[in-house]
Structure 1
Amino acid sequence: MSTTTWRDSLLPASFRGIPFVIEQTSVPAGQRGQLHEFVQRDEPFYEQLGKQAQVHKLTAYVIGADCFERRDKLLEALEAPGPGELVHPWLGRMSVKVGPCEVSHDRREGGMARFELELYPDLPRKFPSARANTRQQTVKASSGLLDSALGRYSAAMSKVDAARINLIGLRNSVSGAFAAVQQHFAPLASMFNGLSGFVLDIVGAPDSLRGLFGSYLGSFGGGLFSLFSSRGGSSGSSHRASSVSSYGDSSISNYRGPLSDASQHVESIRAIDTVPQVSGADTGAAAQATANLVQDAVLVQVSQLVADLPVAPKVEPVATAPALAQQLVQPIERPEVPVADDVLQLRDELDAAIWQASLKADHAHYQALTEVRHAVGAHLTAVAASGVRLVDVTPAQSLPALVLAYQRFGDATRAGEVVQRNRIRHPGFVPPLPLKLAQE
C-alpha cells in the first residue's frame, strides 16, 4: 500500500512557465508594528499595525548542460513588466510582481546559475468608489417641492377675488382635500374647527393656511419616521404585516409601517388630483389651488417617509439551522429586510401618481415634481435591491406553518410571515396551493 509523502505534494517550481529548482524560500508572517519603550518604565508597548506584506524571497537554480540558455529565458521572464504566475512548490500558484533580483555564477558550480529572487504579491488595487446618497437626494428634492408648492399656492390665490367665492360650492369642492388633511395632517385638521373652518381660512386667510403647511412639513425635514414610530404607526396594520420579511422581531418595524403609510398617501394623491366642477371662476380657482396645495403637501410627506426607509444590511445565510426544539427556546435573531416586490410596487405606484400630478403643473413646479419623482424612485430602487424577492412555492402536502417555515428557511419563527403573506386561515393547516414566500 503506497503512502503519499510531503515530497509527493510539492509542485515543480516555475515563473511564467520557465522552470527552475528552489533550494530554500521564506515569506514574512505575523503582524508588523511599532515597539514603544518609555523612559523609566520597564514594560514596553507593542502597537500592531496590520499584517506583514508577503514578500517571497527565493533562492533558485537552473542546472544542466543548457543552463545558460535557461538562465537567459528566466532573466527575460523576470525583467518583463507586469505580474506573472509563480508556481511555488510549498504555497501553490500565485500572481506576483518581480522586485530586485540577483543572478550569480561560480566556477566551482559549473553548469549552474544561482538566482536570489524577491517577489511581491500582485493584489488588485482598491480605489474608493463614490455612491449616491439617495436618502439625502430625496430629502433635498422634497424640500424643493415644498417651496415650489407654497409659491404656486400664493400665486394662484393672489388672482382670486374672495368676494366672488361661493362658500357652499367651495365647501363641496374641497371636502376631499380636507379628508386628506384629516388623514395625514391630524394636528393641522384639529386647528380648523372642521370643514367649515377650513373653507373660511381659504377665503379669509390663505397666507395663514400656506404658513401652516409650510411650518408643519418644514419642521420634520425627512424625520417623519421618528414621528411615525412615536405614534405607533398608521391604521394600515393588515397591509403592514406583509411588507417585510421577518428576519427580525422588533416592536417598531423599519419597513412595515412606512410602506403601508406611503401606500395610503398614494391613494390620497390620486383622490385629490382634481376637484369637482363648480360655478364661478374664482370658486373653481380657489378650490383647485387648495387641492393642489394639499396634494403637494401629501407628496412632500410621502417623500420624507420614503427617505427614512433604510437600505438593509447584507444578511448572511445561516450555515446550519438550529434544531426546532432549540429555536422554540431561543429564536433566531436576524436583521429585518424589506420584501423587494412590495417596495418596487410602491415605487411604480408613486411614480405614476407624481407623473399624473405633474401634468397640470406649470414649468417650474413640473421641474420640482420631476426631481422628487426621480429621487424617490432611485431611493426605493436602492431599498428594494437590499431586500428579498418573492417566489412561488407549492407544498407537497398540507403542513403547519411552523414546519413549512423551518423546512423553507431553517427558521421556525418565520411561521407568522408565511401566514400573513398568504392570508392563511389557520396556521396549523397550510394548504398545498401556490404560496408567496421570500426567496431566502
Structure 2
Amino acid sequence: MTTWRDRMMPASFRGIGFFIDSDSVPVGRKGQLHEFPQRDEPYFESLGKQSQIHTMSAFLIGADCFEQRDKLLAALEAVGAGELVHPWLGRMQVQVGSCTMKHNRQNGGMVQLDLVFYPDQPLRFPTSTVNTARQVTQASEGLLDSALSRYQTVMSKVDAARINIQALRSALSGVFAVIQRQFSPFMTIYSDVTSLVHSLVNAPLALSTMFSSFLASFEGDSSNSSQSSGTDTVNYRATISEATQQAEAVSTINQVSQASGVDTGSTAQAAADLVQDSLLVKVALVVASMPIAATVVPISATPALDQQLILPVERAQVPVADDVIELRDTLSSAIWEASLKADPEHYLALNTLRQSLIRHLNAVAASGVRLVDIKVAEPLPALVLAYRRFGDSTRSAEVVQRNRVQHPGFISPGTLKVAQE
C-alpha cells in the first residue's frame, strides 16, 4: 500500500538538493474586510486569489555541508526562474525571494536556511486583435462605391430609345424576384417588374440612389438581436440562415439574357450587377453582425427538469462551426463567380470583400463548437433527448430543426447530428 511518505519527493532547487523541516504557502483568496459604523454586518470585498509564496525552513547536513551550501547559494543567486522540487507539491517554476542563511556552533555540520520562493508568471505584454468584423464593413463600403460607379458608367452609355421594353422585362424577371424577397421596402415603388423596367428607362439612376440609401441605414443585426439583461445577444442560427439564403440568391442573378440588342442587354446586365453587388453588401453587413463568441464557462450543475420548466437554463450563444464554414464556402463561391465578369477595379473590390469575409467567418468558426453524430437506440421525444444530451430541455427545438424531425414527440432510432457541448 502506498503511503504519504512514499509519495514525497526529494527537495531541490535547480538540481541542488536540501532537506525541508517545514513549509507554508498562503491559500484561498485575499480581500478587504469593510466594517461600517452602526452596522452589525461587515462586508468582504474579494481581491482575487492569494499569491502562492512558498516559505520554507530548510537545512543542509553532513561532512560536506559547506560545499552543499556554496552550490545552493549559487543556485539561489542566479538570475531568472528555476525549477523547485517541492516534497509535497511537486515540480514548479519559481523566482527566488529574500532568503536567510544561519550557522550555529552548537549544530556543527549543519546549515539552516529560510527560503522564500515566488511563483514565476510569464510577463504579459499588450496584444492587438484584428477587428475582422470592422474589416468586413469597410470592404462592403468599398464594394458599394465601386458598384454604384460601375452602374452609373454603364447606364450613361445606354440609349433609352433603343431599349426593348418587353425583352428587358423578361430578362429582369429573376432579378425582380430577388428584389422582392431581399429588398422588400422597394415594393412600395416597384409593385411589379414592369414598374422596375419603366424606372430603368425613364430614371435609370433612381435604382442606384435607392440602394445607396437603403444600405446606408441597414444594420445587419437589427432583426437577429434580442435584449437579454441589457445586452445584445446575437442569434447565430438565424443570422447564418439569413446570410445563406442571401448568398444563394446572389448566384441566381449572375447572368441575364443578352439576346435583344446591345442597349437592352447592357441595361439588364447593369441592373442585375447592381442588385447582385447590393445583395453582397447586405449579406456582408449581416455577417459582420456575428461576433466572435467569448469563452464559455461550463455550467457546473444541471437543474432538474421541473426547475427548468419554471426557470429555463440561460446559456451563452455559441455558433456551430460546421454551419459557419458552410456559409463561408457558399459566400466565397458566389463572390468568385461574380468577380469573373468584373472589370479589374471592381474585381479588386469583390476580392477584398471575399477575403475579409473568409477571415471573419474563420474567426467566428474557431470560437464555436463542432457537430457530432450521436446514435439513438430507442424512440425518444426531442425534449428528453435534449435534456439527456445537454442538460437543457429547451434545446429540443434545435435538435428538431437540425435533423428535420417530423414530430418533436417522436425521434426514431438512428444517427442524429447535434452540437458538441
Bucket of the pairwise TM-score, normalised by the shorter protein: 0.7 to 0.9
- CA 1:299–1:49: 2 relative to 1, 3 Å: same
Q: How many residues align?
A: 408
**In structure 2, what is the Cα distance between the partners aligned to 1:7 and 1:264?**
67
Of 173, 176, 179, the match for 1:178: 176
**In structure 2, what is the Cα distance between the partners aligned to 1:49 and 1:430?**
50
What is the 5 A alignment of 1:180-259?
180-220=178-218, 223-227=219-223, 254-259=235-240
2:285 maps to which residue? Answer: 304
Give the deviation of 1:274 after TM superposition: 0.7
Higher alpha-carbon deviation: 130-139 or 419-428: 419-428
**In structure 1, what is the Cα distance between the partners aligned to 2:49 and 2:316?**
32
- CA 1:114–1:436: 2 relative to 1, 3 Å: closer
Give the deviation of 1:25 after TM superposition: 4.9
**In structure 2, what is the Cα distance between the partners aligned to 1:428 and 1:34?**
54
What is the 5 A alignment of 1:4-403?
12-23=10-21, 25=23, 31=30, 53-89=51-87, 92-220=90-218, 223-227=219-223, 254-403=235-384
Asked if 1 retains the 8 angstrom alpha-carbon contact of 2:224 and 2:234, the reply is no
What secondary structure, in the 3-state scheme, does the structure 1 residue paired with 2:170 have?
helix
CA RMSD of aligned residues (A): 3.2
Asked if 2 retains the 8 angstrom alpha-carbon contact of 1:34 and 1:49, the reply is no
Percent identity over paired residues? 56
2:402 maps to which residue? Answer: 421
1:233 maps to which residue? Answer: none
Q: 1:289-336 CA deviation, whole Å, 9 max, x = no partner?
A: 111111101111111111112323333333443333433343322123
Asked if 2 retains the 8 angstrom alpha-carbon contact of 1:173 and 1:278, the reply is no
What secondary structure, in the 3-state scheme, does the structure 2 residue paired with 1:338 have?
coil
Query: What amino acid maps onto 2:13 in structure 1?
Result: F
2:416 maps to which residue? Answer: 435
**In structure 1, what is the Cα distance between the partners aligned to 2:370 and 2:90?**
41
Higher alpha-carbon deviation: 287-296 or 186-195: 186-195
TM-score, length-normalised on structure 2? 0.85
Give the deviation of 1:124 after TM superposition: 2.2
**In structure 2, what is the Cα distance between the partners aligned to 1:422 and 1:47?**
49
Give the deviation of 1:26 after TM superposition: 5.4
What secondary structure, in the 3-state scheme, does the structure 2 residue paired with 1:309 have?
coil
Query: What amino acid maps onto 1:120 in structure 2?
Result: Y
- CA 1:80–1:253: 2 relative to 1, 3 Å: closer
Asked if 2 retains the 8 angstrom alpha-carbon contact of 1:148 and 1:365, the reply is yes
Asked if 2 retains the 8 angstrom alpha-carbon contact of 1:254 and 1:310, the reply is no
Give the deviation of 1:205 after TM superposition: 1.8
**In structure 1, what is the Cα distance between the partners aligned to 2:378 and 2:44?**
63
TM-score, length-normalised on structure 1? 0.82
Query: What amino acid maps onto 2:181 in structure 1?
Result: Q
- CA 1:100–1:339: 2 relative to 1, 3 Å: closer
What secondary structure, in the 3-state scheme, does the structure 1 residue paired with 2:373 have?
strand
Asked if 2 retains the 8 angstrom alpha-carbon contact of 1:165 and 1:282, the reply is yes
Query: What amino acid maps onto 1:323 in structure 2?
Result: A
Asked if 1 retains the 8 angstrom alpha-carbon contact of 2:65 and 2:110, the reply is yes
- Structure 2 residue runs of 5 or longer lacking an equivalent are 35-42, 227-232
- Structure 1 residue runs of 5 or longer lacking an equivalent are 36-44, 231-251
Give the deviation of 1:54 after TM superposition: 4.3
